[in-house]
Structure 1
Amino acid sequence: MRQKLAFLIHFLTASGGCFALLATISAANRQWSDMFLWLIAAQVVDSVDGPLARHFELKKRFPSWDGSSLDFVIDYATYVFIPAFALAHSNYFPEPYGYLLAFVIVLTGGLYFADDSMKTESNAFLGFPAVWNCVIFYLFLFEVPVGLGGVVILILAAAQFFPLDFVHPVRVRKLRWISIALTFVWLIISARVILADMQATSFDKIVLVLTGAYFFFIGMVLQFMRKKQANAS
């Protein structure tokens, strides 16, 4: 019985595909709040299925089922492809720039996902971790000017291949509980903004900026501290 229940974790991972489908339909209808809500639901699934799979040792229990491959397929859809589709379909950028920037996202994001060295020994991401769903969410919410938005996308696309650490909020041990707590804060505020039809208060925006800055920079800070300690020893 325990064996059968453990297999349900693979169904949990696969449920991210259902949220991806709902997000795609919402994006096609330009229902951005609904799209971001389904993408956040997929992100929550992605946050919990890995720890559950490792805890219940799914690789040992079901060696012919590769949860990592399933996870990668869904992650590429929810973190890269659907946000790129939304960007191209939203008319945020005038044609053909929206399409060209969406091409940049899907091409570089695909290459990033194919890189076996995308994780460091500390389980951090090496290079910007292709969380384009968050990037598009911030662009839409803060109504970033077109020129600046294009520059941000190009810089982040290149940053996927920079030798810089970006923290994984669950798997990186250093400051793990702070990262997990801030993840919950980010999810709660983001969900509240999305349910309010992308209408954010000043408080919401401040929290989103501060939590976003933490996750963007803390990996590089920890990387710098490790190198400093290594040089001192």
Structure 2
Amino acid sequence: MSTPGSGGEGLIRRGLAWGVHLYTAMGLVIASAVAVLLVQGGGEAFRGAFLLMVIATLVDATDGTMARKIGVKRVLPGFDGRKLDDLTDYLTYTFLPLLLIWRAELLPPGQEGWLVLALLASAYGFCQVEAKTDDGYFLGFPSLWNAVAFYLYVLQLPGWAALGFVILFSLMTFVPSRYLYPSQPGTINKLSNVLAVPWSILLIWILWRLPTETTPTADDPAYPLAVASLFYPVYYMGASWIITVRRWLQGDPPHREAPAASA
């Protein structure tokens, strides 16, 4: 009698499962390239780093679907793809974006130490066993530091304003608030995915128009595009907090649920 996963079909499924893990691990390759660019520094390097972060986000947005489709946890029970995913995400969503904020000198001189608060807050969020609610939301600010770094760089906010946002989003990690989780089912998440399409196109266009020899300014062609692209972050944060406040007023605190395994 054959065992589950034995035979030609089992070998194919194992190969596909390892392929999904390799796809997830591409995020580490991308992260390495981003690190090289950040060490290099300069407008062209920063633009390249942001473009690679966009690609890393696309990988992260699709590997979980592939993993569930193939059933990698069942096919390869001895390999924890969730840990690989978390390692990659911490680098591409937190560590490298915060490193970019430092390298691009977006904070006031002498205030760079506040970035450690963001690093620790994000580590806290990533280490939560139950990081999502049972009704399909992220619990606490979901460490979207790549987006924060992008807007701080493109809009070139005053240093103290940039510092304020870094502290604010760090503290919001600990607030038991709901944030949209677009890959989950539901009408609001479908709307989020629809709106994400023009937003993503705008981001690519902005990065293409960014100056490479100088620091971005309000006179650059990319600046009005960046302002227009704020429609999505405003929608995301606004919808998340409207839902959060409504649930608070209804006396419905978020109930945690262990995250599903990914690639």
TM, length-normalised to structure 2: 0.81
2:49 alignment counterpart: 35
Quick one: distance in 2 between partners of 1:194 and 1:224?
35
2:222 pairs, out of 186, 193, 200, with: 200
- 8 Å CA contact 2:16–2:70 kept in 1: the answer is no
Give, in angstroms, the shift of residue 102 of structure 1.
Answer: 1.9
- 1:179 equivalent to 2:200? Answer no
Percent of aligned pairs sharing the same letter: 25
Q: Looking at both structures, which has the greater relative contact order when contacts are Cα pairs under 8 Å and sequence separation is at least 6?
A: 2
2:179 counterpart residue number: 166
1:46 matched to 2:67? The reply is: no
Q: 1:155 and 1:172 mapped to 2: Cα distance? A: 29
Alignment of 1:205-216 (within 5 A): 205-216=226-237
Question: Secondary structure at the residue paired with 2:204?
Answer: helix
Distance 1:115 1:90, change over 3 A: same
Counterparts of 1:126 and 1:206 in 2: how far apart (Å)? 28
- Name the SS of the counterpart of 1:175 in structure 2: helix
Distance 1:228 1:104, change over 3 A: closer
CA RMSD after TM alignment:
1.9
1:28 positional shift: 1.2
Q: What is the one-letter code of the residue matched to 1:72? A: D
Aligned to 2:9: none
| Residues 19-98 of structure 1 mapped to structure 2, 5 A cutoff | 19-30=30-41, 31-98=45-112
Q: Is contact 1:186–1:207 with CA below 8 Å preserved after alignment?
A: no
Give ranges in structure 2 of 5+ residues lacking alignment.
Answer: 1-11, 212-220, 253-263
Listed one character per residue, the Cα deviations across residues 122-146 of structure 1 (whole Å, up to 9, x for unaligned) are 2311111111111010101111111
Question: Which amino acid in 2 is paired with 1:185?
Answer: P
Q: In the alignment, residue 136 of structure 1 is paired with which amino acid?
A: A
**Contact 1:167/1:219, CA 8 A, preserved across alignment:** yes
Residue 206 of structure 1, CA deviation: 4.1
- Contact 1:166/1:217 (CA < 8 Å) preserved in 2? no
Q: CA deviation at 1:29?
A: 1.3
Structure 1 residues 195 and 52: CA distance shift in structure 2, 3 A: same
Amino acid at match of 2:238: F
Choose 133-142 or 190-199, whichever is displaced more: 190-199
Q: TM-score under structure 1 normalisation? A: 0.91
1:228 to 1:170, Cα distance in 2 relative to 1, 3 A: same
Contact preservation (8 Å) 1:122, 1:172: no
Matches of 1:192 and 1:90, distance apart in 2:
21
Distance 2:111 2:244 in 1: 35
CA 201–151 in structure 1, closer or farther in 2 if over 3 Å, else same? closer
4+ residue segments displaced more than 3 Å: 223-231
Note if contact 2:202-2:229 (Cα within 8 Å) is conserved in structure 1: yes
**Larger relative helix fraction:** 1
Give CA-to-partner distance per residue, 1:179-206, whole Å, 9 cap, x none: 111222222111111122265152x234
Change (3 A) 1:33 1:113: same
The 1:224–1:8 alpha-carbon spacing in structure 2 relative to 1, beyond 3 Å, is same
CA contact (8 A) 1:170 1:179 kept: no
